[in-house]
């Protein structure tokens, strides 16, 4: 991997990841997409049929298989929250970029998305609480934090490319 993008759902990981991968001429790998391929079903169905614990085990296995591939990886919002995933992200020695967005921005981006299992059950208060709960794990493995509110995906990619260039010099 050239870079790993982490952050809460709706922070821009997939959008920015695709654009960053294109700029780097590398494949974009979305961890959630990889999980659905391995499981043969949608994430919302994994949650409803097998529960979150099963999903997190599968997520960890797919993360370990994916992290050694070449490309840009966009993780799921809860990926770094699991202790074994946090260890794997830190151990990989690949730049981990945290994309952050305000609760209102997140709600605006994800409302009505039936493919996100947590969206339908969260109001703004719950979202803020969950986001706050995940912050320590996000920051524990992030090499760079970028606030995505008010920035275009292209502007965010430019910040990441500058960071990667400076890191390699």
13 is in an annotated binding site: yes
Question: Whole-angstrom Cα distance, residue 135 to residue 139?
Answer: 6
If we measure between CA atoms, which residue out of 53, 74, 52 comes closest to residue 63?
A: 74
109 is in an annotated binding site: no
17 is in an annotated binding site: no
78 is in an annotated binding site: no
25 is in an annotated binding site: no
> How many other C-beta atoms lie within 10 A of the C-beta of residue 105?
17
11 is in an annotated binding site: yes
116 is in an annotated binding site: yes
10 is in an annotated binding site: yes
Question: Whole-angstrom Cα distance, residue 15 to residue 18?
Answer: 5
Question: Whole-angstrom Cα distance, residue 104 to residue 123?
Answer: 11
15 is in an annotated binding site: yes
> How many other C-beta atoms lie within 10 A of the C-beta of residue 91?
10
Question: Which residue ranges make up the annotated binding site?
Answer: 10-15, 32, 56, 77, 116, 134
Question: Which residue ranges make up the annotated binding site for substrate?
Answer: 32, 56, 77, 134
Question: Which residue ranges make up the annotated binding site for ATP?
Answer: 10-15, 116
Question: Which residue ranges make up the annotated binding site for Mg(2+)?
Answer: 14
């Amino acid at each position: 991997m050239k870079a790993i993008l982490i952050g809460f759902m709706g922070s821009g990981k997939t959008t920015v990841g695709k654009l960053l991968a294109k700029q780097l001429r590398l494949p974009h790998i979305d961890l959630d997409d990889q999980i659905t391929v391995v499981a043969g079903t949608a994430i919302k169905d994994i949650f409803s049929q097998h529960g979150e614990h099963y999903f997190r085990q599968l997520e960890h296995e797919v993360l370990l298989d994916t992290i050694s591939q070449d490309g840009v990886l966009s993780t799921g919002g809860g990926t770094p929250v699991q202790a074994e995933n946090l260890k794997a992200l830190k151990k990989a020695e690949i730049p981990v970029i945290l994309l952050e967005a305000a609760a209102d921005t997140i709600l605006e981006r994800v409302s009505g998305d039936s493919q996100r299992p947590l969206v339908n059950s969260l109001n703004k208060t719950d979202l803020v609480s969950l986001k706050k709960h995940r912050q320590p794990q996000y920051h524990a493995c992030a090499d760079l934090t970028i606030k995505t509110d008010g920035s275009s995906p292209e502007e965010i990619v430019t910040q990441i490319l500058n960071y990667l260039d400076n890191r390699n010099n």
